[in-house]
Amino acid sequence: MDNLFNELQRFGFSKYECQVYVGLLKNSPVTGYEVSKRTGVPRSMIYQVLGKLLDKGAIFTIPSDPVKYTPLSAKDLIDRLRKDYEQSFDYLEKELTSLDSEQEVDIIWRVHSDELVLKEMIDMIDRAKEELWISVWEPQVPIIKEAVDKRVKDGVKAFSVLFGAPKTEIGLTYHHNYMALEV
């Protein structure tokens, strides 16, 4: 459930909002008191959280005494989030690229985490038009191999120096075997 909450939080939901929305998906319509009891969201916070979910259009009220709450279907919520984010990306792409100017790029880039390095590698592989020259370690191979194979299939030549994994090939591969420190 934590992974589900983490993903919803990436789209602007708070932890309590995640708990309430998922709780309502599982069981609705229910009152605010019942939502609080079933989800563990404090009663002192539940109506504020419900209000935020109402503002986001993720839930609806059912006029009754007391008022009950029901969620927007998961599919409809996902479709709405996707549409909103696509519109934001379209806007950002238009506006930011109009501000972008040609910049002189250093030959050496400094990327500050393994995850970002691998993302940058895959982006560069995806943009290759004629040739790829790659130097990688064995643990990186499974992460980039699919992207390289796709480019090779598209006619891009690939050359690699691979440290370790003597049976693995990424395009035309030169294997650089591990040597002990004494060597």
Architecture of domain 2-72: Orthogonal Bundle (1.10)
pLDDT at residue number 58: 95
Query: What pLDDT score was predicted for residue 181?
Result: 55
Q: What local confidence, expressed as pLDDT, does residue 104 receive?
A: 65
Question: Mind listing the pLDDT tens digit for each residue in 149-162?
Answer: 999 999 999 998 88
d(CA 132, CA 157) in angstroms, rounded, equals 6
CB count, 10 Å around CB of 11?
A: 14
- pLDDT the model gives residue 103: 64
Q: Which residues of the chain have pLDDT under 70?
A: 101-109, 165-166, 178-183
Whole-number pLDDT of residue 142: 87
Domain spans in the chain, listed from the N-terminal domain onward: 2-72, 114-176
Please report the pLDDT score of residue 51 as a whole number: 95
Q: Rounded distance, CA 69 to CA 78, Å?
A: 19
